[in-house]
Amino acid sequence: MIGTATVALGGLPLMDDADHRPAPRPVEPPDAVATLDLVLKARGGEQDACDELFARYEARLRRWAHGRLPPAARGALETQDLVQETLVRVFRQLPSFDPRHPRAFRDYVWTTLWNAIRDIARKYKRRGPTGPLDTDVAANGPSPLEEAMGREAFARYDAAMDRLRPEDREAIVARVEMGLSHVEVAAALGKSSAAAAHMAVSRALMRLAEEMAHDRKPRR
């Protein structure tokens, strides 16, 4: 005969309704930290972590890239290759960093993605009449961002973005080019609230406008 120890597995009877009612809780910026975890796993070569990262960011990065790529590149974008490749490359090549400083990590990822997305855009631009895409008349066509602003203004915008402080650029990319909510922007930028994020974006936009204006003046 064996003795038994009583282990209370479960406390109260489960009542479907009471149990499943979503608990009220404050709005919490999503994912900022869990992402670090995923990135680390992705670096360790874990397929699932990569999958999850794609699931989480693909749509947004696609949107970002979409805005910056000429129509010819969009075919490639639809096949997911560009975004996927970019993500894999960025996350796989992360240098080691100290997880106690998520800020440094964040800036690194943003900057790397910024460069990666613009490299893609430039690559497609450069494929002029002699490039492999020359059959496509639209190879040099304007990207949606370019189209929204006009070629000349976009050139100023892009050059000005390059000169901004990284945190201003991140704010604009996250809100304007990726279309994240202000709550998400707060998480991405490490701001304390949506209102703070909105303020950061607004100020960044002003600095961007000033930078753009700079480029315009001498030509007057």
Partner 1 sequence: MTASPDAEDPRLLSVASTIARGHPVDWSTVPTDPETTTILEELRQIEGVCQASSPVPDAWGPFEITGELGHGSYGTVYSAMDHDLGLEIALKVIRPGRDGEDHDIRRALNEARLLAQINHANVVRVYSAERIGREVGIAMELVRGRTLHWLVRAHGPFSASETILIGQELCRAVAAVHGARLLHGDIKANNVMRAHGGRTVLMDFGAGHDLKSSPERAHRRAAGTPIYLAPEVLAGAPRTTASDIYSLGILLFHLATGTYPVNGHTRDDIERQHEAHAPRRLLRDVRPDLPEAFIRVVERASAERPEDRYQTAGELETALHRMSQDDVVPDPVPTPLRRWALPLAAALVMAAGAGYHWWPSSPGAVPAPTSAAAVTPPPPAVGADSYDVEAAFYRHQGGKAVRLQSGARIAPGDELSFEIQSSVPTYVYVVNEDDRGEAYLLFPLPGQQLANPLPPGARHAIPGVVNGERINWQVSSAGGREHFVVFASPEPPSPAFERMFQSLPQPTPGAAPAPQPLPGELATALRGVGGLKKAPARPAGELMSHAFTAPLPDTRETARGVWVRQLTLENPGK
The interface with partner 1 within residues 103-142 (CB under 8 A) comprises none
Q: Under rule CB under 8 A, which residues in 145-204 are in contact with partner 1?
A: 145, 147-150, 153, 156-157, 165, 175-184, 194, 198-199, 201-203
The residue count for binding partner 1 (CB under 8 A) is: 83
Q: Would you say 192 and 203 are in contact if contact means Cβ atoms under 8 Å apart?
A: no
Q: How near is the Cβ of 135 to partner 1 at its closest, in Å?
A: 26
Cα–Cα distance measured from residue 150 to residue 148, given in angstroms and rounded to the nearest whole number:
6
CA-derived radius of gyration, the chain:
23
Q: Which residue lies nearer to partner 1 by CB, 6 or 135?
A: 6
Q: Is 12 among the residues that bind partner 1 (CB under 8 A)?
A: yes
Residue written as token pair 């360790």: 44
Q: Which residue lies nearer to partner 1 by CB, 55 or 130?
A: 55
The 43-62 site mask, x for binding partner 1 (CB under 8 A), equals -xxxxxx-xx--x---x---
Sign of CA dihedral 102, 116, 178, 215: positive
Q: How near is the Cβ of 155 to partner 1 at its closest, in Å?
A: 11
Q: How near is the Cβ of 117 to partner 1 at its closest, in Å?
A: 14
For 89, residues 6+ apart whose C-beta sits below 8 A from its C-beta are 116
Q: Would you say 72 and 133 are in contact if contact means Cβ atoms under 8 Å apart?
A: yes
